[in-house]
Amino acid sequence: MLIPDIKKYIDQSVLCWLATVSKDGIPNVSPKEIFTYLDDEHIGIAHIASPKSVRNLKNNPNVCVSFVDVFVQKGYKLVGQAEIIPKSHPDFLVTAAKILTMAGSAFPVQALIKIKVLKTAPIVAPSYFMYPETTTEENRIAGALKTYKVQEYLK
């Protein structure tokens, strides 16, 4: 399910967006900074400061996660079911090992949000379809560097 291209974009993305729904049907989308793939069927997201997401997941495990490399303007949407693995769980240290390494001592991981991915779909900026003859990853990167003023920021 998690093909190499999806894993590549997970590795290239700075944030993912976790969408959950409350027991009253109110949607919630929350940025998550520490996330990765755990194997070919699961992704993991660190629960650091996500009380609303965790509360929603206890009532409804269905989620949508999206991530995009902002420079090439491509990424993926993943739909699946989440399970919360608390620090007290006997398998927490093994299951959350990659996430704990990423978090280091800077971020206290309260739990692992483990998501079994059921469906995937690519996210691609419209310019790739509207102007396929002239849109390349290289010119998308150049445009993003200019738009986000990355060169000025690095000075």
Domain boundaries, the chain: 4-124
Give the lowest-confidence range in 63-72, 73-82, 95-104, 144-153.
Answer: 144-153
Of 13-17, 130-134, 148-152, the poorest mean pLDDT is in: 148-152
| One CATH from 2.40.30.130, 2.60.40.10, 3.40.50.720, 2.30.110.10 for 4-124 | 2.30.110.10
Confirm if 80 and 115 have CB atoms less than 8 A apart. Answer: yes
Q: What is the tens place of the pLDDT at every residue in 105-148?
A: 989 999 999 999 999 999 999 999 999 999 999 999 888 888 88
Phi, psi of 114 (to 5 degrees): -100, 125
Percentage helix, strand, coil for the chain under 3-state DSSP, each rounded to 5: 30, 35, 30
Question: Which residue in the block uniquely carries the two structure tokens 């900026």?
Answer: 125
What letter represents residue 124's amino acid? V
| pLDDT tens, residue by residue, 73-82 | 999 999 999 9
Q: Which of 24, 134, 113 is nearest to 65 (CA)?
A: 113
What's the full length of the chain, in residues? 155
